[in-house]
Amino acid sequence: MKHLSVAGAELAYEVGGTGSSTLAFVHGWLSQSAHWDAQATHFASDHRVVRWDRRGMGQSAAGPAAESARRHADDLAAILDHEEIERVVVLGHAGGGPTALTFAASYPDRTEGLVMVDSYVRAPSRNAESDPFVATVDGLIAGLEAEDGKEFLAPVYASFFGPLAPPDLVEAAIANAQATDTAVAVSELRHILGDTSSVAAQVRCPVLSVSVDATDTSTIQSTFADVEVGHVVGAGHFLQLEVPDQFNAMVATFLARL
């Protein structure tokens, strides 16, 4: 992997493939760029592929944790500048969705398209009593900050995978997640609770949303001006790892239409 110093962090990243268009992959919460291996291989024959370990995760070292999704979006812009890449289709998985959204909204002239991968759009809320999602995130933060936080994380992260996911894949993902500093893990969860709805409303490029179920389809369709929606079967939250053929086919169709 290459390394680039950006605003107090040493970012580990890769650039591969060939082609006139570029795909930039944003991994999710406590994940890593290697979780896009199947996509990097599939699309490398006709696209340039950029992926990086977000600061504090994977092989990227951070000083303080990223203060917002905008910090990660600016990190991507810095990598693209360094590699002299002007425009990308940005793909964000799960907790990386706010980063992908923020990049598309903040750098519209550099964004050809946006792919949301099991990542949703939410208005801000801090009321755990009325918002089950806030209650879930608050519970995760409390568990992570407890003395046995690393042990607490293991079954939580395992639950993100479907029952057909290979055990070795799940175990490796858990180990990678547990290696992440607790302050980074908590900070990233707070990004997920941010106002992604207002950020998404600023996005003007074509959008593809791929998810496991249809829960938030109506919200996605009402938020973006130009959006396609697809759903995979037989997978958990890490659909790009668990059913890469389904996911890659949807992305390829979307890219052909851009």
255 neighbors 45 (Cβ within 8 angstroms): no
For residue 17, which phi and psi values (nearest 5 degrees)? 75, 180
Band of pLDDT at residue 248, cut at 50, 70 and 90: very high
| pLDDT recorded at residue 32 | 98
Q: Token pair of 26, please?
A: 């944003």
- What's the CA gap between 74 and 131, in Å, rounded? 30
- What's the CA gap between 166 and 148, in Å, rounded? 26
What superfamily in CATH does domain 2-124+194-257 come from? Alpha/Beta hydrolase fold, catalytic domain (3.40.50.1820)
Neighbours of 179 (CB within 10 A): 12
Q: Token pair of 194, please?
A: 């941010």
- Taking the whole predicted model, whether its pTM rises above 0.85 is answered as yes
Band of pLDDT at residue 253, cut at 50, 70 and 90: very high
* Ranges of H-type helices in 47-131: 69-82, 97-106
State mean pLDDT over 27-44: 98
State mean pLDDT over 106-128: 89
| pLDDT recorded at residue 133 | 87
Range of lowest pLDDT (7-16, 35-44, 187-196, 220-229): 187-196
pLDDT digits (tens, 9 = 90+) for 57-98: 999 987 788 999 999 999 999 999 999 999 999 999 999 999
Q: Considering just the CA atoms, what is the radius of gyration of the chain in Å?
A: 17
For residue 150, which phi and psi values (nearest 5 degrees)? -65, -40
| pLDDT recorded at residue 125 | 67
| pLDDT recorded at residue 129 | 67
- What's the CA gap between 43 and 37, in Å, rounded? 10
Q: Which of 83, 71, 73, 80 is nearest to 106 (CA)?
A: 73
- What's the CA gap between 170 and 115, in Å, rounded? 24
Domain ranges within the chain, ordered by starting residue: 2-124+194-257
Mean pLDDT score of the chain: 94
Higher local confidence (pLDDT), 233 or 129: 233
- What's the CA gap between 9 and 6, in Å, rounded? 5
Specify the 3-state DSSP secondary structure of 53: coil
Q: Token pair of 38, please?
A: 């199947």
